[in-house]
Each structure stands twice: as C-alpha cells, then as structure tokens.
Structure 1
Amino acid sequence: MTFLAPETRAALDALHALEHAEDEADGIARLRGIRSLLAALDADPAALAAVRAGLAAGASWDEVADAAGLTPAAAKQRWAGNDAEIAARQEASRKRGQRPSSKPTDLPGLSVAEAAAKLGVTPQAIYLRVTRGQLRAETVELPDGRSYKRVFLDDPPESETS
C-alpha cells in the first residue's frame, strides 16, 4: 500500500518515465514533469499526515519546520489545527491571490513616492508636511479593501482654505 495520493503517484510515475525514456525527453518536458511532481507533492495529504504523526510522537514545530525546509511560523501556518482551520486558511490565501496585483492607475492625486520625487524630498518629508498641514492628503479605499495614500500638491490644505 502506498502512502501517496493517486495524483502524486501518477506525477511521480510520469517523471520516472521521462527519466528512462529512450529518446531522451527534451528539457522542457522534464521541467514540466518536475514542476508537476512538486505541485502534487505540495498538495498531497501525506505531508499533513506525516506532520500530525510527528507531532503526536513528540516532535516540536521547530523539528517539523526543519524537516520541511520551512520556518516554524510557515509550518504552523500550513499544518496547524484541524482540517477545517487549515482549509479556511487556504481559502483565505486563495482569495488574497485573486486580488489584482498591480496598483490602479486612475487614482486621484499623486502617491507619496511620486509627490516626493516631484518636490525633490523624501517620502518621510511628505508625511511630515501632511502632518504639519502643509500638504493635503487623503486615503483612498478601493472596494476590494486596498487603500492608498494620495497627495494633492496643487490643493491647499483644508486649514488654509477656510
């Protein structure tokens, strides 16, 4: 009886076949086989079972992390808790991954970095000027929860407009 899931076993067998192919499989096919096996191993429930067995036998999270090539925090993030807690963390991670990774370009004003470059000062100087009321800034929050500090160089601060 094998401890690997059928998908993992299939990926391992496919990579093994590439290794022993008479026609010397091309490098791209081998690379795809390696990545496929790594993805299958990463998702295989055998790893979680091994972690749980190790912890039950008295292993520490430091030992689990060392065996997995992770930090203790990463190991706990991946394997701590019951199945429902682990699934909830994975789902939350997938949702974060679905967010756009690039900054929107249609935001009003300038970013702090852009304002700093335009004025020839550091970003910290921009924040200091905002705190002192010398520059107007707003935090723009997008519907997906991301927020951006935007600086308005042409607009006087509210204290000067009244």
Structure 2
Amino acid sequence: MGFLSTESARALAELMALDALDAHGADGTRGPTGTTALDRLRGIRSLIAALEADPASLAAVREALDAGASWDDVADAAGLSPSAAKYRWSGDDETIAARQEASRKRKRERPSSVPTDLPGLSVADAARQLGVTPQAIYQRVTRGLLEARTVELPDGRTYKRVFLPEA
C-alpha cells in the first residue's frame, strides 16, 4: 500500500477512471462514454477533499522536519506561508486535532455574512450617501454632528451603525 489513505487512493482512482474515459461532454451534457463535465468536477472536488484530510501530509511534514528541513522549506513545498504551515502541522496529534476542532467551531458559530436587517447605515453606506469618506463620518460622529451606535448581535459580533438626520 502507498502513502495515501484508502479514501485518497479511492478518490484518485475514481478520477483516473473518469480521465481514462476521455469524455468530452460540455455544459453538463453527457459525453460519448456517459460521463458529464459535472461528474468530472465532482471527482476533482472529491479528490481535493480527500487529500486535504489525508494524514499523509502530516506524516510527510514530520519526516521532512526530522530530516532537517525548516518550516520555510515545508511551507514552500506546501504552497503556504511559514506561519500557516506551523499552524497547520506543529505539535502532536492531539494538539493539532484540538486546534482544528477549535477552528471548525469558530466557523460554525460565526456566520461569514453581515446581517442585512441592522438599524441605521454602515459607516461606508453613510459615507457614500453623504459623498464623503468613512473617516469624515467618524469625525462627524466624534464632533456630535452624527449619531452612531455599536450594535452587538447575540453571537458577539459588533457593527458600528450611523443614523443620519431626517431631511
């Protein structure tokens, strides 16, 4: 057995099988062998996901470090910055697993989009509406010419909201 996990080897084999079919379907249509462009895309994504989760990367990093490679060397080989490589692979298995779980937990608990139902205007929107820079909005708030409040959401995110006087 090679260095890849069973899941990675399976995903690679499936993608290679699609490649061997040499299907040429375009825009999701079926090619001469019955595969679609979407089948190939799914195969590519499946392989990427399997490789990202494969312990072979961590094993290779540890082997390289034991052989005298620096974090800069590891980062260069992985296409990452040295700090990102250290964050991903430094420590023992338990430390790495805890760090990954904490990252997944943060992502689950904190939505990535700004809510659209907040009161008032964002600083950028207020600046656009008044034809000034965001810095000018902050100066006007500091001088008491505009009202602004910080709105805190239940998940802890905060947003500065500006309330323009009614014309």
TM bracket, shorter-chain basis: 0.7 to 0.9
**Is 1:39–2:30 an aligned residue pair?**
no
Match of 1:96 in 2: 106
After superposition, give the CA deviation of every residue in 1:76-120 in whole Å (9 maximum; x if it has no partner): 121112222222222232233333222212222211112112222
State, as a whole percentage, how many aligned pairs show the same letter.
70
The alignment's TM-score, normalised by the length of structure 2, stands at 0.83
Match of 2:154 in 1: 143
**In 2: Cα distance, 1:147 partner to 1:88 partner:** 27
Q: Secondary structure at the match of 2:115?
A: coil
Residue type matched to 1:92 in 2? A
After superposition, give the CA deviation of every residue in 1:16-36 in whole Å (9 maximum; x if it has no partner): 221223737433222221221
Match of 1:109 in 2: 120
**In 2: Cα distance, 1:140 partner to 1:36 partner:** 41
Map 1:65-80; keep pairs closer than 5 Å: 65-80=75-90
**In 2: Cα distance, 1:117 partner to 1:20 partner:** 55
**In 1: Cα distance, 2:120 partner to 2:4 partner:** 54
The alignment's TM-score, normalised by the length of structure 1, stands at 0.86
Structure 1, 83-92 or 7-16: larger mean CA deviation: 83-92
- Cα RMSD over matched residues? 1.9
Structure 2: any 5+ residue segments left out of the alignment? 23-32
Q: Secondary structure at the match of 1:39?
A: helix
**In 1: Cα distance, 2:164 partner to 2:36 partner:** 57
**In 1: Cα distance, 2:90 partner to 2:139 partner:** 42
Provide runs of 4+ in structure 1 moved above 6 Å. Answer: none
Match of 2:91 in 1: 81
Structure 1, 134-143 or 96-105: larger mean CA deviation: 96-105
Structure 1, 47-56 or 14-23: larger mean CA deviation: 14-23
Map 1:44-59; keep pairs closer than 5 Å: 44-59=54-69
Match of 1:18 in 2: 18
Residue type matched to 1:124 in 2? Q
